[in-house]
Amino acid sequence: MKTFKVLYNQNKLYSEITTEASYTDQRSELSLRAVFNGSETYKIGKRTVVVFPGNFLILNEGTSYDRDIYSNSIANTFAIFFSEKFLRDFQYGFSSSDQNLLEEPIDCEIIQRSTFLETIYPCKGDIKYNLAHLLDHFHENSDDLLLDDYIYHALLLFYRLYYKEVLNKSKRLDALNASTRDELFKRLSLAKDFMLSNYNQDISLEDISAHSCLSPTHLFRTFKQIYSCSPHQYLIQIRLDNARHMLKSTDYTLNEIVNLVGFTCPSTFIKLFKNRFHFTPGTYRTYVA
């Protein structure tokens, strides 16, 4: 099932619920793409990025891509397309009083940005709530002005996230100059995206290193500067987060989840899960989820 709506200001909302779909040679406005169930694969140039629940992808205006959904369970995908006019109005209307909406300070220079690092961002906290409400109101065919309020907040929250996840984190790199630092951060984002897209596969540091065009030693050292953990620890976190999502929202057995998220040994999984969330997976599913 596809649902599409063009709002009065040319912002667009798109939702698709399916197990199989394929679209080639797509091009769009600046867009935010989230998945609430299942997964969605994007081919952007030579890169392949898979979006799972708990993340979203940003694509800049003019980016060409292919989009595929091949999922065992029903994939529930959602996209916001920000119109040029809306972006201009947003940037123009962003006054100092609106900065109170944000916890972190954001200067006007960041707000004036209209291209962003095309990477996978965490769909957590306020933006997760905002997108879930927006999707509900979209399906309920709510008023355009209400939908627009959510889109406004989605963009505002994305700017906050961008400040935190990209601009702040890139400053942690001990690079010589800004352009080297930006390039290094981009490559580390490729490494992160590769892990987020392939967490359920058997991947090694060498695989991640090859996809990010960094030597294993350089990757290991710089990744730690940005994400405060090694690539392997980051991969474990992704697997555990996805396992938690599956425990909460699916009926898969524990052994199935262990395999689906890329672990090989159930006892190792249980130990790691308990260390991270302070509950065993069974207890989490019964009492917390």
Main-chain phi, psi angles of 66, to 5 degrees: -110, 150
Contact window for other proteins (CB under 8 A) among 56-64, 120-128, 189-197, 230-238: 120-128
Terminal alpha carbon distance of the chain: 28
Residues from 164 through 183 that contact other proteins (CB under 8 A): none
Q: Which residues have CB under 8 Å from 65's CB, separation 6+?
A: 26, 27, 42, 43, 44, 59
Q: Does 129 bind other proteins (CB under 8 A)?
A: yes
Cβ count within 10 A of residue 96: 7
For other proteins, which is the closer residue by CB, 23 or 129? 129
Here the tokens at position 158 are: 């994305």
For other proteins, which is the closer residue by CB, 72 or 100? 100
The site string for other proteins over 78-117 (x = CB under 8 A, - otherwise) reads ----------------------xxxx--------------
For other proteins, which is the closer residue by CB, 126 or 207? 126
Helix and strand element counts for the chain (H, E): 12, 8
Q: CB 129 → other proteins: shortest distance, Å?
A: 6
DSSP code per residue over 17-57: EEEEEEEEEEE-SEEEEEEEES-EEEEETTEEEEE-TTEEE
Q: Does 5 bind other proteins (CB under 8 A)?
A: no
- Candidate residues 126, 144, 182, 207; the one interacting with other proteins per rule CB under 8 A: 126
Between CA 132 and CA 126 the distance in angstroms is 10
Q: CB 9 → other proteins: shortest distance, Å?
A: 16
Q: Which chain residues interact with other proteins by CB under 8 A?
A: 100-103, 124-126, 129-130, 133, 137, 142-143, 145-146, 149-150, 153
